[in-house]
């Protein structure tokens, strides 16, 4: 009756990051931090987990002397997010 929820996406912050990235082409670290309200350290750890799972691509560059981290959702990440939202719907249909 109920579909299994992806434990990686079931985390509030990781789900928030994926929810932001699904709607944009790319987002830098500062934008993600502002949108999620997360601390820099926690956000960094959660992005790393999403990257290791293949859900997010991370590009680290410099703008002048300032470091810049840009995140993009991968096609695997889009599929995982869509699967997660479909599984969640099975809990809402009582």
| pTM for this predicted structure | 0.92
Residue 3 within any structural domain of the chain = no
Return the ∠ at Cα 15 (arms to 13 and 18), rounded to 5°.
110
Domain containing residue 38: 12-84
Q: Name which of 69, 60, 73 is nearest 17 in CA terms.
A: 73
Q: How many domains does the chain have?
A: 1
Residue 78 within any structural domain of the chain = yes
> Could you read off the pLDDT of 36-66 as tens digits, one per residue?
999 999 999 999 999 999 999 999 999 899 9
Question: CA 64, 40, 28, 63: dihedral to nearest 10 degrees?
Answer: 0
| Partners of 57 in beta bridges | 72
Q: What is the CATH number of the domain that holds 70?
A: 1.10.10.10
Residue 5 within any structural domain of the chain = no
Residue 61: how many CB atoms within 10 A of its CB?
10
Residue 7 within any structural domain of the chain = no
Question: Maximum distance among all alpha carbons in the chain?
Answer: 54
Residue 90 within any structural domain of the chain = no
Per DSSP bridges, beta strands 66-73 and 27-28 are antiparallel
Residue 2 within any structural domain of the chain = no
> Could you read off the pLDDT of 16-44 as tens digits, one per residue?
999 999 999 999 999 999 999 999 999 99
Residue 60 within any structural domain of the chain = yes
């Amino acid at each position: 009756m109920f579909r299994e929820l992806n434990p990686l996406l079931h985390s509030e912050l990781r789900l928030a990051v994926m929810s932001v990235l699904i709607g944009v082409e790319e987002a830098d670290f500062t934008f993600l931090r502002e949108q999620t309200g997360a601390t820099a350290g926690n956000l960094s750890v959660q992005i790393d987990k999403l990257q290791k799972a293949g859900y997010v691509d991370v590009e680290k560059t410099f703008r002048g002397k300032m470091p810049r981290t840009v995140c993009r959702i991968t096609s695997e990440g889009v599929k995982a997010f869509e699967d997660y939202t479909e599984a969640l719907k099975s809990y809402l249909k009582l």
